[in-house]
Structure 1
Amino acid sequence: MFSLELSMKYSPFPLSIQKKEFDDVKRIYDEIKNSMNETLESTNLIELRCDKVQNKLIAVRAKEIISVQIYEKSSVAGGAKRPGFSLNID
């Protein structure tokens, strides 16, 4: 299961959806990234649908998105890979 997580302006909590296939989540990631690159006057509305929770729908304005990331849920120890970036300093 792959998670796509959005950080929004003026919101301390991220929005996320889950998809079963990497190709599905990558396509959505690319669509959001392209919308974020468009002019600030753009009012693109992006609708996201979750595979894990069938009735979960999220609609956001592209210009309100600060960041978007993909990470894979791991079945090992019931956890997930830590989202974002981390530095391993030896």
Structure 2
Amino acid sequence: MYVVELSLKLSPMPIAVQRKELTEAQSLYATVKQALEGMGPRVLELTCEKEADKKVSLLTSELVAVQMYEKSASAGSAKRPGFSFDG
């Protein structure tokens, strides 16, 4: 399972979207990154793989950062989001 996490201006809680496949997570990450690089406000709609009716739309001018990481089933071997010196 892979998580694409979006940080928003003036919001302490990020928006996280999960994808089962790495290629799907990478595609979503690339889409969000392109929205960050774009000029002017734009609406970005994110959907849930599990529940097709579950959606969220946000204004890309409110995006600050996007990150992608692998979510592991076992807590001991979970990769932490962000960057660290620990392997």
Question: TM-score, length-normalised on structure 1?
Answer: 0.82
Structure 2 unpaired stretches of 5+: none
Q: Which residue of 2 aligns with 1:83?
A: 81
Query: How far is 1:35 from its partner?
Result: 1.2
Q: Secondary structure at the match of 1:24?
A: helix
Inter-partner Cα distance in structure 2 for 1:80 and 1:51: 22
Q: Secondary structure at the match of 2:33?
A: helix
Compute the RMSD of aligned alpha carbons.
1.8
Where does structure 1 differ by over 3 angstroms across 4 or more consecutive aligned residues? 77-80
Aligned length: 85
Question: TM-score, length-normalised on structure 2?
Answer: 0.84
Correspondence list, 1:62-73, <5 A: 62-73=60-71
Structure 1 unpaired stretches of 5+: none
Inter-partner Cα distance in structure 2 for 1:9 and 1:77: 29
